[in-house]
Amino acid sequence: MTPKKPRPATVFLRSTRDIQTVKCHGRRLSTNLFNLLACTMGDTPTRVGIIVGKRFGNAVRRNRAKRVFRDLARQLHPDMVAGRGVLVFPKRDALLQSRKELTQLWKTSLERMRLLRQGP
């Protein structure tokens, strides 16, 4: 039997209480591809929640949007400041954009919200 690897700190918001906290106390940034809410959550690592409602489309489209934004969150998570809760609400047009454009807008939005560490 092989020993289990320790699980890394979670990158995603899963608790309803944490999601409601971000919804009530978060600052909003709107783009043409997604809305972003962020607030301070204490000394925990920054966690990202992705919320896609039924108005977005069928289950295939909703799941694809969640996969795309989870990947974006994982990609920049090491560069994010600690202690924040972030909620992302993708818009329908997000799936129509190229990956490069979406990644650039994601990074720019995180910088505008001061969620990325300032590098040397």
- The three state secondary structure string of 5-52 is CCCCCCCECCCHHHHHHHHHHCEEEECCCEEEEEEECCCCCCEEEECC
The full set of domain ranges for the chain reads: 16-112
Q: What per-residue confidence (pLDDT) applies to 5? A: 57
Q: Is the pLDDT of residue 7 over 60?
A: no
Instruction: Report which of residues 9 and 106 the model is more confident about.
Output: 106
Q: Mind listing the pLDDT tens digit for each residue in 67-114?
A: 999 999 999 998 999 999 999 999 999 999 999 999 999 999 999 999
Q: pTM of the full predicted structure?
A: 0.86
Q: Which amino acid is at 79?
A: D
Calpha distance 103→118 (Å, rounded)? 18
- Complete edge-to-edge strand list for the sheet that includes strand 47-50: 27-30, 34-40, 84-90, 47-50
Residue (of 59, 6, 37) closest to 113 by Cα position: 37
Q: What per-residue confidence (pLDDT) applies to 62? A: 95
Q: Mind listing the pLDDT tens digit for each residue in 40-78?
A: 988 888 999 999 999 999 999 999 999 999 999 999 998
State residue 26 phi and psi, 5-degree precision. Answer: -80, 155
Phi-psi region of 40 (alpha: psi -120 to 50; beta: other; left: phi over 0): beta
Q: Specify the CATH number of the domain 16-112.
A: 3.30.230.10
